[in-house]
Each structure stands twice: as C-alpha cells, then as structure tokens.
A and B are shown apart, each in its own frame.
Chain A
C-alpha cells in the first residue's frame, strides 16, 4: 500500500464479488435442508423500504444483515485485496418483527384471517417465506388473537398483546445492556469516549429509553410512539429548555471604559485602519440567511429578563 499525494479521484465501487461476513454456524448450515441459505430483500418494518436479510437453509431461521462500514478500510483476503473494508454481521432476528406490519395492515379490517393470506407483498414476494421460520407460527400469539375452526387457524392483530410483547423485548434488552456494560447515558455520545458517569449512576429510565430506541429500529414510528406511552416514558423535548445558569454579570451591559475619552476616535491609528479582509469562511457565513435565528448572545442571558435601562 502506499500513500498518495494530492489529487485523486475515487473510482466508484465495483460490484462486490466477495464479502467478509461474521455469521453464526446455524446461519450457514446446509446439511438438513435442500435449499442453501440466501440473502433476501424484505420490507424493513422501521423504514418501510427494502433491507437485506438472510434466511437459513430451509427458511427455518431469519437473520438480519448489518454492515460495519467506515471510510478508508480494505481487506487483505488470502492473496487478494478487497477494496471495501466492509464487515457484514449476520445475526439472528425474531421474524415477528417483519410479520408485524402485515398483521397491522390487515388488522384494520378487524377480521380473523388465515395467516398465509395476511403475509403478502407484491414488492417483496419473499415475505411469505417468513412463515417457514420455526419461530413465526409458534409465536404469533404474542401479537395476534387466534381462533381455531376445525383444523384451520385464523389470526387477528392485537395492539394490546403487541404492546406487552414489545415491553418484554425492551425489558430483555435492558438486561442485555446491563450485562454487557453498554453506555446508555445521554452524555455518552460514543463508546470510545471516556465516560463521565460510572455505569451505576445511570437511572433505570436511561436504560429503558435506550432499549426503547433500539427496539424502535425494528418497528414503525407509530408503534414506537405507542410503546413509549406504554412504557410510561415521557416524550423528550429536545433541545432541553433549561438554560445553563448564567455567570454573575455586571450590572451594565456596556463595556467598562472611561466616561469621557476623546482620544479614542481621534487617534490616527483608528482612522487609517483599512477594513479587515474576511476569510472565505467568514464571507460565506456573511451570506447566510439569518431570518429566524436567535443572536448568539441570547443563549447566554440570564433567565430573568435583562434589566430595562
């Protein structure tokens, strides 16, 4: 590898023929079933757009695919170089999260329906394969009411059940976060930063909120809001209204100077000074539309209104 001097263009990434993947053995096991494990595109319940998942051999297990991606990384794989330094994680996932949006959609009709009629998506036909996952049918009762007529099962979405199910997910996430010592405090912006508070200083609410945020990556925004209520967590108003306590200020805003100083404006220096040149950054700042912006000083003023003069 070598360092390069100044001008260079990045060529667009060529198609990836190889991936560096971390996956559980169960994800790539092929012996028991005929079909190979496969990457599939399914509707992401949080974004409503396509995301990549993996179905194990025989579609018995669902995995989500997350990519670790940072600039300036490449792989040396055996005797080859791979330009993307991407690391794919294939991790087990509860298929109910992906099934849930379909149930909610048909639940609006309020009818009990056979589940294979519920899970249909023209855009993502692979979604029906979710029903082959061992966990899917066995755990549908967490989010739906069931009715059995003769040998047929019918389901109807239940918001109440779903909330309880999601609450359990949040609680389990909280214990996982604690077990793994994951920083959840608002002040901690990065795992690599030094922690200001020790872990024991975090309140239960910090954990709950963090776990709620994590679970919200797997549900729609509406559900996320409903779950927040269900957890009895107040919605955060950001940014916080509380202003920092202001420092002691002088009684007057005017700069301290002699009352009568006639030398100031007469000095030759003052008169001759050419206007200062602005840097490129200052110039572009000057062009910015400032309507609706508070002056910087307003952020530093005390809560009590500045004395009238």
Chain B
C-alpha cells in the first residue's frame, strides 16, 4: 500500500487503489464497504472497499479475515499482507478523507454532516469499482445511520445490484471484514507517520488513540492549542472536544453565520428590526438626528471617522 499520493498533500481527500484483478472484470463480483476512524478527533477517516468474484467467497473466508476491531495492529498488517498476496482475485480501493476535509465540510456555511460525507464517499467508491469494469452483483455495507434507509438509497442509485446494509456487517461478511482491514491499516499508517504541514518543530507524537476520551489525546490537544489558529490540520475542528478547548483557551473569533437567530444578528449589523417600522415615533425621529450618508458610500461600506 503506497500512501505517497496522500502524504504529499494530506489536507485533501485522496483515493488509493489496487490493480483490478482481471477475473473481476469477467465474473460476477461481491463488494464490501467499511470505514475506519469515524470517532477520533485526530487524523483522517478512511473508507475502504474490497471486492472479489462471488465464486471466490470461500477462499476469502479461508484467509480468516475478521472484523478489524477484534485484531491487534500486527494481526491486521498480517491480514493485509494476505489480501495483497491474493491480488489475483481480490481488489481494493480506499478513500482517505483528511481531517481538514472533515472539518471544512462540517463547518462550512451549508453544513455537510459526517453521515452525508460517509454516504457520498461510499457511493463514490462503488461507482469507482463500476467505472473500472468490476462486474458488481452484490454489495455489503456496514451501516451509517438507519440501515433500511441507507439500503434504499444505495439500491436506487445502483439498480441491478443487490445491496445489503447491516449493522456489524464487518463481522458478518468476510468481504466487509477485508474492506475494514484495508481501511484500518491505511488509517494506522497515516496517523503514525502524519506529516505536519505546520511548522511546529519537533512534534510530540504521543497523542494516544486519537479518540476524544483518551487522556493522552486530550493532553496533546491542550499542548498544541494555538490561541489564534487553534490546531494543526491533523485535528478535526468540527469535533466538540476541539471546539470546547478552543472556546475556553483560544481567542474568540466571530463569523458572520455565527448567530442563527435573526434578531440578534440584525442588531449587530445595525439593521432595523421590522418592528421599528410599525412604531409611531421611531420613523420621524430617525430622519432628523442622523445624517443620511449618500449611497455611493453606504453601498461601499465607507464612512467618515472622527478618530482613529
């Protein structure tokens, strides 16, 4: 697994893929989807697909790929090795969503939540397999959100493919287990060797699991909090763990979509409340006291100053 393409720019989303086995272009195939790194406040979320001919399901089972969570890191590496050796009939592809991608998606003006991001990434990978000529007949997915809704969505998008969405699919279907191993291995490697884009000098890499409840992760987050910029791009800014720390220790930053409730936002922008137009006195007074700046200036947000 060559992580080079992602590591050259770890601020974006990146796809890595194995060669497509020839047999997958001619025989009916099954495909499993799973993800790694959904919960941590640090590092990327990795989506993985694994596919093989339906006829090779038994062989895959014999590789003893199991749910990645039940395995140690060494065992996972070992299994990935085995999958790699089976490259004549097993193919895989990964989508690495950088923490920066996750932050900017979830925090942008039109919020793009983690579930939508997950769904779209999974769909993109299935489409990638189809575009590569893989003869997909069955797709197995570990669910994100309600299983039946997700299944419905995928079935409609990919007519002719039998879609099965199940919670814990990674322990039920070997092809999903295989996908989860690919995803987890990639994430482990990326997190371990994270290239910090920021100039932080010698970075303390003892950040623990990256999960919010890990004391090591918390300590690391406290240590690397910059009052102005917050965190390196390694951190998911959209996680409440990160936000809470920035709120309490960082400089306050205001964005123009901060206040959703209109009345306050309007006041701040010096807009008049709709109500003011209905009160008898306000209208007349206003005109006399304040000098109405010509629209040439008000349109351009230009005003005179009386002091610096």
Interface residues of A (CB under 8 A from B): 1-5, 8-11, 16, 19, 39, 41, 44, 46-47, 49-52, 64-72, 81, 88-89, 182, 189-191, 210, 213-214, 216-217, 284-285, 288-293
> Taking CB as reference atom, which chain A residue is nearest B258?
A4
Q: Among the listed B268, B299, B303, which residue makes an inter-chain contact with A66, where contact means beta carbons less than 8 Å apart?
A: B303
Q: Are A46 and B255 in contact (CB under 8 A)?
A: no
| B73-109 residues at the A interface, CB under 8 angstroms | 107
A interface secondary structure, majority: loop
18 contacts between A and B (CB under 8 A): A1-B229, A2-B230, A3-B253, A4-B247, A4-B252, A4-B254, A5-B244, A8-B247, A11-B252, A50-B306, A65-B304, A65-B305, A66-B303, A67-B303, A68-B300, A81-B228, A213-B296, A293-B278
Choice from A2, A51, A72, A289 contacting B304 with Cβ under 8 Å: A51
**What is the number of residues of chain B that contact chain A, defined by CB distance less than 8 Å?**
39
List 11 additional A-B contacts (Cβ < 8 Å) besides A3-B237, A47-B291. A2-B237, A3-B107, A5-B247, A8-B254, A51-B304, A65-B304, A71-B254, A72-B254, A72-B256, A81-B228, A213-B296
What separation, in Å, do the CA atoms of A66 and B294 have in the docked complex?
13
Q: Is B203 an interface residue (CB 8 A)?
A: no
Contacts of A213 in B (CB 8 A): 294-296
**Digit string of B259-301 for contact with A (CB within 8 Å is 1, else 0)?**
0000000001100000100111000000000010111110111
- Which chain A residues border B107 with CB–CB below 8 Å? 3
| Complex Cα–Cα for A252 and B292 (A) | 44
User: Nearest-CB distance from A288 to chain B (Å)?
Assistant: 4
Cβ-based interface call for B243 (8 A)? yes
Task: Knowing A1-B228, A72-B255, A213-B296 are in contact, say whether A52-B305 is a contact too (CB < 8 A).
Answer: yes
CA distance A67 to B307 in the complex (A): 11
Among candidates B228, B275, B307, residue contacting A284 with C-beta atoms closer than 8 Å: B275
Q: Which residues of B lie under 8 Å from residue A11 when comparing CB positions?
A: 252
**Nearest chain A CB to B304's CB is how many angstroms away?**
5
Residue of A nearest to B237 (CB): A2
C-alpha spacing A81/B229, complex, angstroms: 10
CB contacts (< 8 Å) of B301 on chain A: these are: 68-70
Q: Are B291 and A68 in contact (CB under 8 A)?
A: no
Q: Which partner residue on chain B sits nearest A48 by CB separation?
A: B291
**B-chain residues with CB within 8 Å of residue A216 when the two chains form the complex:** 294
Q: Which residues of B contact A70 (CB under 8 A)?
A: 301
Chain B, 210-264, CB within 8 A of any chain A CB: 228-231, 237, 243-244, 246-247, 250, 252-256, 258
Across the interface, name the chain B residue whose C-beta is closest to A221. Answer: B291
Given A3-B253, A71-B269, A191-B300; A52-B308 close (CB under 8 Å): yes
Across the interface, A290 reaches (CB within 8 A) one of B230, B237, B278, namely: B278
Which listed residue (A2, A217, A285) contacts B278, Cβ 8 A? A285
A191 touches B299 (CB 8 A): yes
Assuming the contacts A4-B252, A81-B228, asked whether A52 and B303 have C-beta atoms less than 8 A apart, the reply is no
Does B200 make an interface contact (CB < 8 A)? Answer: no
B253 to chain A, nearest CB (A): 5
Chain B CB within 10 Å, residue with most, of A4, A8, A70, A291: A4
A52 touches B307 (CB 8 A): yes
- Residues of chain B with a CB closer than 8 A to A2's CB: 229-231, 237, 243, 246, 250, 253
Neighbouring B residues of A4 by C-beta, 8 Å: 243, 246-247, 252-255, 258
Question: Given contacts A44-B304, A49-B306, A52-B308, is CB(A1)–CB(B299) below 8 Å?
Answer: no
Question: Once the chains are docked, how many angstroms separate the CA of A72 from the CA of B291?
Answer: 25
Contacts of B308 in A (CB 8 A): 16, 19, 39, 52
Question: Which of B246, B268, B303 meets A69, CB within 8 Å?
Answer: B303
| Contacting pair B268 A71 (CB below 8 A) | yes
- Cα A137 to Cα B279 with chains together (Å): 51
Chain B residues contacting A66 (CB-CB under 8 Å) are 297, 302-305
The minimal Cβ–Cβ distance linking B131 to chain A, given in whole angstroms, is 36
Nearest-neighbour CB distance to chain B for A27, whole angstroms, equals 15
Cα distance A46–B292 in the bound complex, in angstroms: 10
With known contacts A72-B254, A210-B296, A213-B294, A3–B243 Cβ distance under 8 A: yes
Beta-carbon contact of B253 and A288 below 8 Å: no
> Contact between B252 and A289 (Cβ–Cβ < 8 Å)?
no
> CB-nearest residue of chain B relative to A217?
B294
- The smallest C-beta distance from B153 to any residue of chain A, in angstroms, reads 29
**B75 vs chain A, min Cβ distance (A):** 39
Residues on A with beta carbons closer than 8 Å to the beta carbon of B237: 2-3
Q: Which residues of B contact A1 (CB under 8 A)?
A: 228-230, 253
User: CB-nearest residue of chain B relative to A284?
Assistant: B275
Residues in A with CB closer than 8 Å to B244 are: 5
- A19 closest partner in B (C-beta): B308
B window 23-54: CB within 8 A of A: none
Which of chain B's residues have a CB closer than 8 A to the CB of A190? 299
B106 to A, closest residue via Cβ = A3
